[in-house]
Amino acid sequence: MSFHASSASTDSSDSKQATLLIFGASGDLTSRKLIPALFSLYRNGFLADNALIVGVARRPKDDDSFRNEMRDDVLGNAPSAKATADWDRFQNLLHYVQVDLNSPSDYCALKERVEALEQERNLPGQRVVYLATSPALFLPSIENLNQAGMVPHEASKLRVVIEKPFGHDLISARELSANYARLLSEDQIYRIDHYLGKETVQNILLFRFGNAIFEPMFHRHHVDHIQITVAESQGMEGGRGGYYDTSGAMRDVLQNHVLQLACLVAMEPPSRFEAEYIRDEKLKVLQSLSSPLHATSVDDWAVAGQYAASSINGEPCKAYVNEERVPPDSRTETFVAMEARIDNWRWAGVPFYLRTGKRMPSRVTEIAIQFKLPPLNLFQTVECNETMCERVNARPNSLIFRIQPQESISLRFSTKRPGMQYQVEPVDMDFQFGEKFSEALPEAYERLLLDVIRGDSTLFTRSDELEAAWSFVDPVIQHWQRPEHQPELYQAGTWGPKQAHSLLRNTGREWRVPQKHLTAHEAGK
């Protein structure tokens, strides 16, 4: 069961004595995310001193050089004395085995070394293989592990973690799932969507199903529409254009992270808080996704954009097509906005507006639930700035989940402006994680790795969820691949192309401009 308050003492000694094999150990993901997350789990008592972490990659290296490299990356230049002492104990968990992942014979040596280390440490042989490699190596690695006799068909003995992309369309995703299914059972496969590891994302379910006052409001009777925004200010730094150009915003972020957020906001309460019950409910949402009723073509409800050159805060900013490793005639979208429908009893008639993009004005992920206006407009809404007050249309209530940064939940409602008249003023009830809790929010990978080690698949995507998500986005991608289709340009540093605004404006609505939340300290309180 997931989402329980984790504490080291609730973990069985077996899960603390895990064996982790990281394939692709020379890569960026290993040093930037995986080893720091494992180090933190160790420091918090979730990994025992005899647990085993084996880096596996092609480059020649011995245990010591692997440990030193990881130490430099994880601890940085000026580590505290405590961190250094903890690392000195943690590094004994780390080992390295040189393997060409395409070469079946190398796996025999890997098997021998891992078995010897497990025996030395008296470990039960509960293995997790993390495939932090290029996707082309996922299947060959599992096949070679199998040939070497390293794939027992029990999830307690072997779990395999896979990073996206999980295929590039419905057909390839099905094919991949079928190939994995030949070698592994579904409960051995952990498909990571790091958004589900974010603390504030997990809190959506707790907020909805742990507070009786809010859940009934998540319903077509009360909600006018929902907006989900995953905006990034970054572009193609670090030569990322090569990968990104084969993917685009739809495959890279909307198909997975944005749709997963939509699931958590829209799903029915599960009858138990357990992986399969939760994933069953998410699946129903994904299967209910469709285009809006008014749409006659994809262009009526989905918009592709691509950033053009501009300057941000006085700094010149390249167009996408001029980025490193991006073909100059690329039609890949760096922005998507769409109006989706969730065709079920709860949500019929409520538009879900989804958008994600690179080179937006700021990095912000939020879910905004906009409620309906009261049926009668009994009061005047007066809004004032420093120089004047004016009457405006009534403002609807809204509930905003700020996933990142400045994680918060805020509820906007109307109140009476002090005075002799009934004048409405919108105000916010604001809960900021950073103000309430002194501890830092755990990194997504830390939570997800711990769940794999414990054998809890709640926060991982099941193959049927994946297929349902692809079925929804595939027709849009196919439409955009037609030779006559071009993404609409938007200036880097803006909130996307004009058509994205028209999507809402045509219905009398507007995209929210995500505001930076000021902490009490910043606001000088």
Q: Which is nearer to ligand BG6, 19 or 365 (CB)?
A: 365
118 near ligand BG6 (CB under 6 A):
no
Report yes or no: 19 and 118 within 8 Å, Cβ to Cβ. Answer: yes
231 near ligand BG6 (CB under 6 A):
no
Report yes or no: 204 and 399 within 8 Å, Cβ to Cβ. Answer: no
Is 219 among the residues known to form the active site? no
Residue 95's closest CA among 63, 121, 130, 50? 63
Q: Determine the Cα angle at 280 with ends 365 and 357, to 5°.
A: 20
Cβ 442 to ligand BG6 shortest distance, Å:
13
Cβ 365 to ligand BG6 shortest distance, Å:
6
Q: Which is nearer to ligand BG6, 291 or 356 (CB)?
A: 356
253 near ligand BG6 (CB under 6 A):
yes
Structure tokens belonging to residue 15: 């899960």
**Binding residue count for ligand BG6, defined by CB under 6 A:** 4
Cβ 333 to ligand BG6 shortest distance, Å:
13
Residue 65's closest CA among 73, 132, 123? 73
Q: Which is nearer to ligand BG6, 52 or 261 (CB)?
A: 261
Structure tokens belonging to residue 392: 């405006």
By DSSP bridging, strand 352-357 and strand 389-392 are unpaired
Q: Which is nearer to ligand BG6, 152 or 242 (CB)?
A: 242
Residues in contact with ligand BG6, shown as a per-residue x/- string from 78 to 107 under the rule CB under 6 A: ------------------------------
Q: Which is nearer to ligand BG6, 56 or 196 (CB)?
A: 196
Q: Which is nearer to ligand BG6, 214 or 243 (CB)?
A: 243
* One residue of 63, 115, 187, 232 binding ligand BG6 per CB under 6 A: 232
Report yes or no: 337 and 353 within 8 Å, Cβ to Cβ. Answer: yes
Cβ 134 to ligand BG6 shortest distance, Å:
14
Residues in 384-423 at the binding interface with ligand BG6, rule: CB under 6 A:
none
Which amino acid, 420?
Answer: M
443 near ligand BG6 (CB under 6 A):
no
Structure tokens belonging to residue 390: 């004016």
199 near ligand BG6 (CB under 6 A):
no
140 cis-preceded (ω within 30 degrees of 0): no
Cβ 495 to ligand BG6 shortest distance, Å:
17
State the DSSP H helix or E strand holding residue 480, giving kind and residue range, or none if neither. Answer: helix 463-480
Which residues lie closer than 8 Å to 456 by C-beta, 6 or more apart? 1, 2, 275
Question: Could you give the count of Cα atoms lying within 13 Å of 392 in the half-sphere of its Cβ?
Answer: 13
Report yes or no: 270 and 277 within 8 Å, Cβ to Cβ. Answer: yes
Q: Which is nearer to ligand BG6, 227 or 423 (CB)?
A: 227
Q: Which is nearer to ligand BG6, 50 or 404 (CB)?
A: 404
Cβ 135 to ligand BG6 shortest distance, Å:
12
Residue whose structure tokens are 């925004």: 229
Helix runs in 93-191, H state only: 106-121, 138-147, 170-183
Q: Which is nearer to ligand BG6, 22 or 250 (CB)?
A: 250
Residues in contact with ligand BG6, shown as a per-residue x/- string from 357 to 376 under the rule CB under 6 A: --------x-----------
Residue whose structure tokens are 């092609």: 58
Report the residue number whose CB is nearest to ligand BG6: 252
Cβ 213 to ligand BG6 shortest distance, Å:
30
452 near ligand BG6 (CB under 6 A):
no
Cβ 524 to ligand BG6 shortest distance, Å:
29
Which of 222, 257, 294, 485 does the annotation list as catalytic? 257
- How far is residue 340's CA from residue 261's CA, in Å, rounded to a whole number? 13
Looking only at Cα atoms, what is the longest distance across the chain? 85
Structure tokens belonging to residue 111: 């098997």
Cβ 379 to ligand BG6 shortest distance, Å:
40
252 near ligand BG6 (CB under 6 A):
yes
By DSSP bridging, strand 289-290 and strand 223-231 are unpaired
Q: How far apart are the first and last CA of the chain?
A: 41
- How far is residue 285's CA from residue 464's CA, in Å, rounded to a whole number? 12
Question: Which residues form the catalytic set?
Answer: 257
Binding site for ligand BG6 (CB under 6 A): 232, 252-253, 365
